[in-house]
Structure 1
Amino acid sequence: MIERIDLLLKHPRYFFYLSENSNREQKRRYCRHDWQHMRDVARIAYILAMEEKVLLGRDIIYAAGLLHDIGRWKEYDTGEDHAVVSAVLAREILDCAGYSGIECELILRAIQEHRRASSGSSPLGQLICRADDLSRPCLMCDVKADCYKSNKMETAKYFLVY
């Protein structure tokens, strides 16, 4: 099913949305919502799913990770929650990549939940939320003392356990 991820990545709007994020974040001092971040979230979510024996397909997990922040630019422009916007923008891409209606709903829900997953969130939403936090390079960040998120990120705790 890796073909669907390839279709997702080749969709003209995918990299358009990432370029919009990049345009808005040119002067951002903190973590950016770029291709590297999306890929890291997808990979970490997949690793977590394997470790925790969450039975979801790799292409489902990767789709959620690769799409979870595509609407971030809109939040900069309008103040809308980027998780909600990202889910709206992701639907067309998922449809074009061949995801079924049920798969789309699963992925879109996870995208909407990725900022504040709770015990009531879907397993995929919880994975993407946790992977999003773990993807942050807080441990080696030059501006972590000024970042409101650095205390909340579990990056250092996670990697120092090993």
Structure 2
Amino acid sequence: MKRVNCILEDDDFLSYIAKNKELEQDRMFCHHDINHLLDVCRIAWILNLEENLSIPKETVYASGLLHDIGRWVEYETGKDHAIASGELADSILTRCGFLNDEKANILRAIISHRNKEHRADLSRILYRADKLSRPCFHCDAKSRCKRFQKGEKQILYFRY
């Protein structure tokens, strides 16, 4: 997990997480902080194991750590944070020693992590882990959350 630890220590990564935290300081809804990112990593890893996908652990964790690093860009410019996160993640992955084919797979998952339909296993489990990571059962803002405006029900586990 040397390359994952490299991400966690990367100056740009730390800067992006700090920007998310600053801009979400007064946000009543879910935050895009290090706790969320690590929860997504862990859940994606569990899904990977349960489904016998054999995706390398560093790949799963890199995609989970980097999938929301561009949330601050969306707040400041309106650009989709999935696309912004993919753009910001590219140089971090390079600095941390990920190979081109690994980077392509991780970036594809990050850029598509908000889409329900996926062809690649990594993209699919990142999408599901992102949804499953939210503790909506006990959220005070649930009645105002766009996720539940159309009557969606929070369930502990779901498949797509």
TM-score of the two chains, using structure 2 as the length reference:
0.93
In the alignment, structure 1 residue 54 sits paired with structure 2 residue 32: no
Structure 1 residue runs of 4+, over 4 Å off? 151-154
2:43 matched residue in structure 1: 44
Aligned residues of 1:138 and 1:153 also touching (Cα < 8 A): no
CA RMSD in angstroms, aligned pairs only = 1.4
C-alpha displacement of 1:54: 1.0
| CA distance in structure 1 between the partners assigned to 2:15 and 2:153 by the alignment | 29
| CA distance in structure 2 between the partners assigned to 1:153 and 1:25 by the alignment | 25
Q: What residue ranges of structure 2 are gaps of 5+ in the alignment?
A: none
1:146 matched residue in structure 2: 144
Aligned residues of 2:132 and 2:156 also touching (Cα < 8 A): no
| CA distance in structure 2 between the partners assigned to 1:129 and 1:121 by the alignment | 12
Q: What residue ranges of structure 1 are gaps of 5+ in the alignment?
A: none
**Matches for 1:24-103 after TM superposition, within 5 Å:** 24-103=23-102
1:124 matched residue in structure 2: 122
1:11 matched residue in structure 2: 10
Kindly tell me the number of residue pairs found equivalent between the two proteins: 156
TM-score of the two chains, using structure 1 as the length reference:
0.92
Aligned residues of 1:8 and 1:94 also touching (Cα < 8 A): yes
Classify the secondary structure of the residue corresponding to 1:41.
Answer: helix
Classify the secondary structure of the residue corresponding to 2:37.
Answer: helix
C-alpha displacement of 1:142: 1.1
Distance change in 2, residues 1:152/1:7 (3 Å): farther
